[in-house]
Amino acid sequence: MFQDLRYGVRMLLKKPGFTVIAVLTLALGIGANAAVFSVLNAVLLRPLPFAEAQQLVLIWETHPNIPRVEAALPDLQDWRAQAQSFQELGAYSFKGYRNPVLTGQGDPVQLQGTLVSQNLFPLLGLNPLLGRNFLPEEEQSGDDRVVMLSYALWQRSFGGDPLIVGKSIQLNGNSFAVVGVLGEQYPLETDVWLPLSNLSEGDRTNRMYHAVAVIGRLKPTVTLEQVRSEMDTIAQRLQQAYPASNKTIGVEVLPLREQLVGNLRPAVLLVFAAVGLILLIACANVSNLLLAKGALRRKELAVRAALGAGRSRLVRQLLTESLTLALLGGSAGLALASWSVPVLRAVLPGILTGKTPGLETIGLDWRALTFTFGVTLLTGLLFGVLPALRISRINLNQALKEGGSSVVGRHNVSRALVLAEVALAVVVLVSAGLLVRSFQSLLRVDPGFRADDLLTLKINLTDTRYDKRGEVANFYQQLLARIEALPGAKQAAVIDRLPLGPSRAVTRFAAEGQQPEPGQFPIAQIRAVDQHFFELMQIPLRHGRLFDEADVVNQRNHVIINETLARRFFPQQNPVDRHILLRVGREAVLLVRTSGDPLTLAPAVRQAVWSVDSTQPVQQIGSVEETLSTSLARRRFAVKLLGALALLALTLAAIGIYGVVGYSVTQRTQEIGLRLALGAQRRDVFKLVIGLGIRPALLGLVIGLAGAWALTRLLTSLAAGWLFEVKANDPATFAATALLLAVVALLACYLPAQRATKVDPLTALRHE
């Protein structure tokens, strides 16, 4: 084996051009697979940072108009009393102290807060880095002025004080005693945790208020199907016991990983499938290179066979050379992956909505290295076996004759490989084309408002300073007046949540004249706005009037609905002056229409806020166009990534076609010269050579289109959340892919065909 390896290295060094091209081709395929696997490993394979995480599930309540909604706290109490499948049930909520303001540590800082049940962290198997978990008695009102800090906040605002436990901090003007500091492993983006009893009384006692997310730990012998069946039974009991609130409320149980990963799973699997096809295309190309190289080594192999080497000995030598080539390609691919992994680790968290655990750990760990090594060996066998078996089939009499080698069989194998790689490239191109078409359709959608020259910033007024609606209205009246007086500011308005931004702000309502059954009230998304909002956003009015100042100042219960709600609940009638429900809050997004670049006005707007209230934090300041662009970042990244892979597949397919046709021209130079000497026209030679490459390419195109069409069901399942107004069997995408590949195949055949027409018959015949 050592002798074979040494000889194989000598042969690779003897043809440096061939070796470099083959290694680069393999590096691209193996490197792409290693990089994407590092993401798949971090997100889908690596264990979650919890004890026995496979036993953890998230439990949602469901409504006919909302697939998943948080649970009502009284429902959770019934689940605890009735369910037998769980070791324990815990809960958390983003209500109450969602954005508390920390004071007393320098400038006021707005934090991310979460309310948790006292058993949540023990249920997850998380122990504080300092201090202790919450106690059962601290989940009672009056004894709940305690707080746990995140590691990041502890370092950022308290300098990592080791004596922080037992000290008090000020949140929204209230004093809380620090009882513990959590480590860095907790996945939620939270600065402080407080007991669940800090929820409002309505959220704690009313089944109409869905305020808590529930995490359960299954008993070791309980399956997911068993717990789902039991929870469905309990939900039916609650529907009968509380029809006014639970008539249509069901339950959904999801594994914690599935919930945390969300719709990132199909995207990762789709890209992983694409890079797998890329690797197969690379293998086909390298196989063709080895076949071409092997044809030049027929005399060498014939001499070895004549001296006693059996076919198995020749195959072993050729496979050793292939595996050596694969290891070189794998090493180069690993270098490419190590360069790209930090980029993925930096980019992915910024383009995904919410925090996906594991993204920060993307890297080439032992799993990724093992996978890369296995892929490298498999690749060496994939591209090496066929050439080794083909080349080692020696006809001694023919091979030892001068110029007597036959290449017809080799050409047939090469064309079959071209056919295969074109077919694989079609599948990748169709997938990328569908995403591109979907993204274009998304960009063409009119959002219904003007997003240009708009500055946005988030303001969250605290309950302690603004506990009355009149105080909230007075704050914004002063602020808007000062902002509109700034140079470059045209108009300002307020909305509680930015349009098209993520929101779970929904409410049950009943339209006048309609009486739904108990528990079957319709659901609507809601936004609270001031009197300037629709004018600033240039949203057209269809009927009635917009809000005026009196509506805001006098807190009138007026509401503006969109056309969709009007058509559904007030068909064939004027909805103006009919009655439905409106809800408002203190959290708001300030919008400022500017005369130029909105970001240049950001410092002045921030100062205007502080001139009204010097303790009010300002968050997420930026332009609306940036906000909307961020909402599309995940799709844009997927389109670019899959588009790059499609371009790579197209390039490799073109190289494969060019290589086969070019080598055919080289091997058939004498034949072409003889044809020309006997009167063939150069255009006939041109057509002959074009046909050599275009026929297998077109056949591969047809097979690839048929395969992609057959795989549309799989594409639909993998990319269901990514396709917008585009079907997986979109005819335009298939037609564009066919046209693109046909053009590329013609271009790949053109240069060798042109070279064939310039063959000198006398030179070719003299050489023969």
CB atoms inside a 10 Å sphere around CB 442: 16
Task: Provide the token pair at 759.
Answer: 């063959």
Q: Answer whether 764's CB lies under 8 Å from 672's CB.
A: yes
Residue 583 has pLDDT above 60, yes or no: no
Mapped onto helix, strand or coil, the DSSP state of residue 91 is: strand
- Report pLDDT digits (tens) over 313-354: 778 888 888 888 889 999 999 998 888 888 777 777 655 555
Give mean pLDDT, residues 370-393. 83
CB atoms inside a 10 Å sphere around CB 436: 18
Q: How far apart are CA 77 and CA 83, in angstroms?
A: 10
CB atoms inside a 10 Å sphere around CB 343: 11
* Residue found by looking up tokens 């269809």 in the block: 542
Closest-CA residue to 394 (of 311, 470, 506, 450):
311
More confident of the two residues 426 and 581:
426
Residue 584 has pLDDT above 50, yes or no: no
Q: Please tell me the predicted confidence (pLDDT) of residue 582.
A: 42
Residue 215 has pLDDT above 90, yes or no: yes
Residue 720 has pLDDT above 80, yes or no: no
CB atoms inside a 10 Å sphere around CB 740: 17
Averaged confidence pLDDT in the chain: 80
Kindly give the interhelix angle for 682-710 and 633-667, rounded to the nearest 10 degrees: 140
589 beta partners: 458, 495
**Lowest pLDDT segment from 92-96, 204-208, 667-671, 713-717:** 713-717
> In terms of residues, how long is the chain?
768
Q: Answer whether 582's CB lies under 8 Å from 557's CB.
A: yes
Closest-CA residue to 330 (of 646, 644, 32):
32
Residue 262 has pLDDT above 90, yes or no: no
Task: Provide the token pair at 250.
Answer: 């069901």
**Lowest pLDDT segment from 208-217, 439-448, 734-743:** 439-448
Distances (CA, A) of 298 to 7, 381, 405: 16, 21, 8
Q: Answer whether 720's CB lies under 8 Å from 266's CB.
A: yes
Give mean pLDDT, residues 546-569. 76
Closest-CA residue to 25 (of 649, 496, 609, 740):
649
**Lowest pLDDT segment from 160-174, 217-231, 252-266:** 252-266
Per-residue 3-state assignment (H helix, E strand, C coil) for 517-532: CCCCCCEEECCCECCC
Mapped onto helix, strand or coil, the DSSP state of residue 637 is: helix
Q: Answer whether 417's CB lies under 8 Å from 712's CB.
A: no
Task: Provide the token pair at 552.
Answer: 């805001």
Residue 267 has pLDDT above 80, yes or no: no
The whole-model pTM stands at 0.70
Give the up-direction half-sphere exposure of residue 107: CA atoms within 13 A in the CB hemisphere. Answer: 9
Task: Provide the token pair at 128.
Answer: 């504080």
CB atoms inside a 10 Å sphere around CB 553: 13
User: Binning pLDDT at 50, 70 and 90, where does residue 87 land?
Assistant: very high
Phi-psi region of 235 (alpha: psi -120 to 50; beta: other; left: phi over 0): alpha
Q: Please tell me the predicted confidence (pLDDT) of residue 89.
A: 93
Mapped onto helix, strand or coil, the DSSP state of residue 214 is: strand
Q: Please tell me the predicted confidence (pLDDT) of residue 403.
A: 46
Q: Please tell me the predicted confidence (pLDDT) of residue 406.
A: 47
C-alpha R_g of the chain:
34
Residue 234 has pLDDT above 90, yes or no: yes
- Residues 6 or more apart in contact with residue 17 via CB below 8 angstroms: none
CB atoms inside a 10 Å sphere around CB 591: 25
Q: How far apart are the first and last CA of the chain?
A: 39
User: Binning pLDDT at 50, 70 and 90, where does residue 724 land?
Assistant: low
Q: What stretches of 221-374 adopt beta strand conformation (E)?
A: 250-255
Task: Provide the token pair at 255.
Answer: 């594994």
Task: Provide the token pair at 208.
Answer: 């109409």
- Report pLDDT digits (tens) over 640-660: 777 888 888 888 888 878 877
| Ramachandran angles phi, psi of 326, nearest 5° | -65, -40
Mapped onto helix, strand or coil, the DSSP state of residue 672 is: helix
Q: Answer whether 101's CB lies under 8 Å from 462's CB.
A: yes
Q: How far apart are CA 764 and CA 680, in angstroms?
A: 15
Q: How far apart are CA 561 and CA 463, in angstroms?
A: 28
Distances (CA, A) of 529 to 300, 454, 534, 553, 564: 83, 16, 8, 13, 19
Q: Please tell me the predicted confidence (pLDDT) of residue 258.
A: 79
Distances (CA, A) of 345 to 29, 326, 492, 550, 631: 20, 27, 38, 51, 19
The letter for the amino acid at 442 is L
Q: Answer whether 658's CB lies under 8 Å from 748's CB.
A: yes
Q: Answer whether 334's CB lies under 8 Å from 37's CB.
A: no
- Report pLDDT digits (tens) over 385-415: 877 777 767 666 665 554 444 444 456 777 7
Residue 190 has pLDDT above 50, yes or no: yes
Residue 79 has pLDDT above 90, yes or no: yes
